[in-house]
Homo-oligomer: A and B are copies of this chain.
């Protein structure tokens, strides 16, 4: 027992040291990213003509990744692959490339998110510390875990969700506590550092949470199923768009160029500025007013299309958008407050699309407060089950199938389904 104590204390101090460094890297990276993203978004809003640069920006992103970034183009999937099957240190190039190309996506109005960028910056910077260790060692695994946790925690200002996201994301349906302390520490430090840079995160208001009466239970389940199917649809749409691009456009840099023209065409023709960029103000609005159903469908299509074409950024904020506006639309016939449904959708679509129900439950509590905890938890769990064996991260492995009948899928990668 004394032996365990000495080992635990050594482990503790070693990882406080390492995660505090990762916290500085991840937190500062997220702060820089969020600051410049805000600048880009404001610039776009004040200078609507930038929209015309969508195709050009796409071409430049495409060319850059084609000639100088093939080894980092897989993004989050590369990080998950390295976690499962370590091959080499993630290139330091990944951080500036994903940062700049994400900004290039957002400034011209591409529909994309943030978490992918934050996690890739964090992982590419933090993984340089792995040079101290063997590439396939447990220490390296923990560094990647801490990098994911830190990137996520700091970009959304939700440390508990970040810690759980890193624990949940690599393996579907199973958590191991081997890295639990490291994940919590990295989340704490990176969030603290990002705060210290003066960054403020968006607050969403769930204004009313009724007592969770039995009469609401079927509605929460039904909403959860709808959120899960929507998450699945998003993953499938991304997959279909990406395959179509690959099939018809051989030369990769031309894909975002053509994609840019298509996006521009629709944005101009139908005056759809709501679907450009992050769309945070529209997410906020969906907590107050009931949305029409086409909003979430269009956002789903625009985001899947933007990212499949080869533009850069994360999927998560668009998933928040899709989920919140879908939840909001459900308030037309569901007897639950619109802000609560929007909050449930916000996290549950994300839960289904990334297979991280506990991270999403914590996220809801951190963003919307503890009162609706059980609503969010059940919506996230049902959303998780009903997204099937799909994910926005094709490198996830199945740790436990979503129904015991499918146990034969265990430890298969979603890529190979």
Contacts and interface: CB of A to CB of B under 8 A. Distances in A.
A119 interface: no
Interface in A191-226: 191-192, 212-214, 217, 221
Interface residues of A, number: 60
A265 interface: no
A131 interface: no
Interface in A322-377: 357-358, 361-362, 365-366, 369-370, 373-374, 377
Given A177-B174, A366-B370, A163 B4 contact: no
A25 interface: no
A107 interface: no
B181 A382 contact: yes
Contacts of A404: 138, 178
A60 to B, nearest CB: 37
Interface in A159-178: 159-160, 163-164, 172-178
Contacts of A192: 212-214
A385 interface: yes
A269 interface: no
A49 interface: no
A376 to B, nearest CB: 9
Contacts of A366: 370, 373
B378 A184 contact: yes
**Considering residues A180, A366, A389, which has the most beta carbons from chain B within 10 angstroms of its beta carbon?**
A180
Number of copies: 2
**Considering residues A11, A187, A357, A370, which has the most beta carbons from chain B within 10 angstroms of its beta carbon?**
A370
A1 interface: yes
A7 B403 contact: yes
Nearest to A172: B177
A160 B361 contact: yes
A378 B213 CA distance: 33
A184 B357 CA distance: 12
Contacts of A361: 160
Interface in A378-405: 378, 381-382, 384-386, 388-389, 399-400, 402-405
A133 interface: no
Contacts of A382: 12, 181
A8 interface: yes
A378 B188 contact: yes
Contacts of A184: 377-378, 381
A80 to B, nearest CB: 18
B188 A8 contact: no
A406 interface: yes
A53 to B, nearest CB: 39
Nearest to A377: B160
Interface string A126-139: 00000000000010
Nearest to A163: B377
Contacts of A173: 176-178
A353 B400 CA distance: 28
A16 interface: yes
B357 A365 contact: no
Interface of A: 1, 4-5, 7-8, 11-12, 16, 138, 159-160, 163-164, 172-178, 180-181, 184-185, 187-188, 191-192, 212-214, 217, 221, 232, 357-358, 361-362, 365-366, 369-370, 373-374, 377-378, 381-382, 384-386, 388-389, 399-400, 402-406
